[in-house]
């Protein structure tokens, strides 16, 4: 079950790389958040402890509801509707993503022989990190950068559930809080920038350099 969800997660990444609509990106992120919450709920079916339900609940709350809601609000507030403009051809970009993804899968297959990891969630997490970075590199819009960053963070979470030893809940909760704060700050910064710079493109940030 975990593997199936991880594959689904991976596919959502491909969609994130492909789509040219900002709103679809948000939907993908929301879906990823829900998938992550479900993956973190799975071990609870074997043995249930009340303390461990905090993490999936928080995941669902923050990644599934709060952050998408907030980003959608930013989109409506700042009136961002034009499509995502890629800097390289869409085809090249998707090939790059797929190549790196397959490299990651092969690599984690080799790695699994010597370490105790679940190949598919591990590789999916890693691909999410790489896809996130690629999205940041090859997209112009600042808001899409935030989404690339969120995809990276999702990857890190999947990573955490793929390794054999469990991270303490408090650390994962701390990470969640971190992400939320970062997105929050980014929203505020975007709002501020929108008053001085008209487009929300990273290249224009160069003008702010002192």
Partner 1 sequence: MFSLRDMFFISMLIQAASILAPVFIGGQRRASALAHITLVAGLITGFISSFLAVFFPMAHTVGTGFFGLPPEYFRFDPLALYFLCVVQAVAIPTAVFSYSYLEHYIGEGRSVKSLYVFFAGMLIATQMVVTINHAIVFLVFWEATSMSAYLGMIFEKEKKEVQKGSFYYFVMNHVVIFLLYIFFFILHRQTGSWLLSDFRVVTGNSGLTALLFLLALAAFGMKAGFMPFHFWLPRAHPIAPSTISAFLSGIIIKLGIYGLFRAFQILSPAPLWIGWLVLVVSMITAIFGVWYALAQHDIKKLLAYHSVENIGIIGIGMGIGFIGSAYANIPMQILGFGGALLHVLNHAVFKSLLFLGSGVINNNLGTRNIELMGGIVHKAGFFVFLFLTGSVAICGIPPLNGFVSEFIIFNSFFTAARELKEYYPLMMLVSAVGLAFVGGLAVACFTKINAIMFLGTQRGETKPFHVSAYDYISLGVLALLCVVIGFCPVPFINAVNNVVSGIVPQGGAELLNINWLYITVIFTLFSAVALAMYFISKAMRKKFGFRESDAWCCGYNRLGPRMQYTASSFADQINDIARAPLGYHKKGRAGEGIFPPSSGFESHSADLVDNRIIVPGYKKFISLMSAIRLPGNTDIRYYVAYILIMIIVYSVVGFLWH
Residues lying near partner 1 in the complex (CB under 8 A): 107, 110-111, 114, 129-130, 133-134, 136-138, 202-203, 205-206, 209
Closest to partner 1 by CB, 164 or 203: 203
Tokens 């702010």, located at residue: 208
Q: How far is the CB of 115 from partner 1 (least distance, A)?
A: 9
Q: How far is the CB of 205 from partner 1 (least distance, A)?
A: 6
Q: How far is the CB of 101 from partner 1 (least distance, A)?
A: 13
Closest to partner 1 by CB, 111 or 119: 111
Closest to partner 1 by CB, 63 or 139: 139
Q: How far is the CB of 136 from partner 1 (least distance, A)?
A: 5
Closest to partner 1 by CB, 76 or 99: 99
Closest to partner 1 by CB, 60 or 200: 200
Long-range contacts of 2-8 (CB under 8 A, 24+ apart): 2/39, 2/42, 2/118, 2/120, 2/121, 2/161, 3/118, 3/120, 3/121, 5/35, 5/38, 5/39, 6/39, 6/120, 6/121, 6/124, 6/158, 7/120, 7/124, 8/35
Tokens 């992550």, located at residue: 36
């Amino acid at each position: 079950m975990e593997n199936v969800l991880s594959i689904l997660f991976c596919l959502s990444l491909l969609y994130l790389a492909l789509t040219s609509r900002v709103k679809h990106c948000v939907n993908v992120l929301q879906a990823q958040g829900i998938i992550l919450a479900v993956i973190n709920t799975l071990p609870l079916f074997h043995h249930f402890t009340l303390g461990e339900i905090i993490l999936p609940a928080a995941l669902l709350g923050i990644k599934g509801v709060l952050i998408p809601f907030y980003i959608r609000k930013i989109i409506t507030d700042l009136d961002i509707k034009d499509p995502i403009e890629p800097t390289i051809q869409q085809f090249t970009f998707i090939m790059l993503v797929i190549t790196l993804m397959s490299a990651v899968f092969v690599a984690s297959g080799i790695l699994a022989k010597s370490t105790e990891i679940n190949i598919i969630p591990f590789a999916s997490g890693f691909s999410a990190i790489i896809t996130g970075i690629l999205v940041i590199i090859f997209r112009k819009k600042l808001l899409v950068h935030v989404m690339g960053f969120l995809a990276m963070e999702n990857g890190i979470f999947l990573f955490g559930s793929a390794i054999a030893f469990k991270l303490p809940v408090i650390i994962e909760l701390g990470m969640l809080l971190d992400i939320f704060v970062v997105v929050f700050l980014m929203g505020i910064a975007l709002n501020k920038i929108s008053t001085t710079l008209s487009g929300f493109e990273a290249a224009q940030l160069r003008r702010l350099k002192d």
